[in-house]
Structure 1
Amino acid sequence: MMRGVTDDGGYLLDNRQAEAGERFDALAALFNASTFRHVEALGIGPGRRCWEVGAGGPSVPSWLAARVGPAGHVLATDIDVSWMTAGAGYTVRRHDVGTDPAPDTGFDLVHARLVLVHVPQRAKALATMVSALRPGGWLLIEEADPALQPLACPDEHGPAQRLANKLKHDFRALMAGRGVDLAYGRTLPRLLREAGLTEVGADASFPLSGPACTTLEEATVRQIRGRLLDAGLATREEIDEHLANLAAGKLDVATSPMVSAWGRRP
């Protein structure tokens, strides 16, 4: 789940907004295949215990529940659990990983995607997730790194693309001003080693274009529209023009690289 912390304790990308469901679906289409590939490579299978941190929507916990089967257990937590359904093969619990202690221990897998970069207490949150692992258990953290690739349209060949990149710069300014670490993804291998994990590795997924990229951009811009206007970073005309360009299929919109890093508790 991708969220941006605001100065009033809320989130730029609030799960209570209607666009949240569109964003969850787009993120699933873009990144679930990579997430599932990593989980499979870590040997998570029938009978395993998993904690999905900041689950947001149901797609990842549902897949994990099917993978571990009835002999396993999946706990899905978030500060807002309204998009998940109890009784869907996994346990749902409200939990703030930045402030609350681990909800349980002895997990074979703890996974978080697009969570820590937005948590002000991210060092504490990471330590909490490590503490929840059993010896030999795996931590898999996936975070976008907007500073690695800051453009909405890397192929900036015209005014529509320049506008898209201007608005992406404005969005990044909002996030940075509210404590979001825009370069956190690249630090994950080092942080996992410093947390005492072994067998640390990392790679990145970087969608450059496609319908899910466009859907994600549209939903995100609609969600932050008011924040951009209130901050004086963009005009209504700029936002409306960008949304019209997206709807007309004029843009190849990229995502930030998604860094996946994993490590094992000795």
Structure 2
Amino acid sequence: GPQLAVAALDVARDPLPEAAYDLIVARLVLQHVPTRAAVLPRLVRALRPGGLLQIDEIDASYEPPLLTPDAAAEELYLRFLRAKSAAMRAAGGDPHWGRAVPAALRAAGLTAVDVHLHIGVRHAQDPGLGLQSNHTHNLRDRLVEQGMTDEELERVRQLMRDPGFRAASSVFYSVQGRRPGGEDR
């Protein structure tokens, strides 16, 4: 029957076996890894010929507020998003890397590269907006370094709890590519 091996590792540091996997999935990982350009070829080499690599990442350049109580609330939410992206860049991440993944997979030598996109609407009961709210706590120090105040972060949390608030999600890219070879598998 089918076999499944799940490996949890530090993709930037831990060794990867060569030609060992039929499928590798990295979901919302590489955009946070400063050495993502060096990691991607290692992931490709870890695939067996004909193996599939799936990279799921976001592009946070598009996630505008759609319905806010007023212009000040809209600007506050936009400031929060800009601060979050700046904090990610300061840590070596790329909040827009999702859009670069298809070309990166092709440049890494994968074939049959395919892309699926998803965008949603965030509202007070949406898990994605809940994650944004958690960011106001978990990333607090980084957000303050980017110019946000504790009072502003509390106002952002209040805004995200508003039943009338709506914002577009970031664009979610699910990109797959196949390692050449293994056509007779």
**Same-fold call, TM cutoff 0.5:** yes
Tell me if structure 2 keeps the 8 A contact 1:160–1:251: no
Q: Please list the CA deviations of residues 9-37 of structure 1 after superposition, one character each: whole Å capped at 9, or x if unmatched.
A: xxxxxxxxxxxxxxxxxxxxxxxxxxxxx
- In 1, Cα distance between the equivalents of 2:79 and 2:99? 24
CA positional deviation for 1:237: 1.4
CA positional deviation for 1:76: 3.1
Q: Which residue of 2 aligns with 1:12?
A: none
TM-score if structure 1 supplies the norm length?
A: 0.61
After superposing on structure 2, the runs of 4+ consecutive aligned residues of structure 1 that deviate more than 6 Å are: none
| Aligned pairs for 1:17-96 within 5 A | 47=2, 72-77=3-8, 95-96=9-10
Q: For 2:5, what is the secondary structure of its paired residue?
A: strand
Q: Which residue of 1 aligns with 2:73?
A: 160
CA positional deviation for 1:150: 4.7
- In 2, Cα distance between the equivalents of 1:260 and 1:129? 16
Q: Which residue of 1 aligns with 2:31?
A: 117
Tell me if structure 2 keeps the 8 A contact 1:156–1:162: no
- In 2, Cα distance between the equivalents of 1:215 and 1:240? 14
Which 5+ residue runs of structure 1 have no aligned equivalent?
Answer: 1-45, 48-71, 78-94
Does residue 212 in structure 1 map to residue 127 in structure 2? yes
Which 5+ residue runs of structure 2 have no aligned equivalent?
Answer: 181-185
CA positional deviation for 1:250: 3.9
Please, what is the CA RMSD of the aligned residues? 1.9
Q: For 2:115, what is the secondary structure of its paired residue?
A: strand
Q: Please list the CA deviations of residues 30-76 of structure 1 after superposition, one character each: whole Å capped at 9, or x if unmatched.
A: xxxxxxxxxxxxxxxx62xxxxxxxxxxxxxxxxxxxxxxxx12213
CA positional deviation for 1:176: 1.7
TM-score if structure 2 supplies the norm length?
A: 0.86
Tell me if structure 1 keeps the 8 A contact 2:67–2:167: no
Q: Which residue of 2 aligns with 1:237?
A: 151
- In 2, Cα distance between the equivalents of 1:103 and 1:219? 36
- In 2, Cα distance between the equivalents of 1:226 and 1:102? 34
- In 2, Cα distance between the equivalents of 1:232 and 1:190? 31
Q: Which residue of 1 aligns with 2:165?
A: 251
Does residue 178 in structure 1 map to residue 91 in structure 2? yes
- Out of 102, 105, 109, the position equivalent to 1:196 is 109
Gap change, CA 1:259 and 1:232, over 3 Å in 2: closer
- How many positions carry a matched residue from both structures? 177
- In 2, Cα distance between the equivalents of 1:178 and 1:150? 21
Q: For 1:76, what is the secondary structure of its paired residue?
A: coil
Tell me if structure 1 keeps the 8 A contact 2:54–2:177: yes
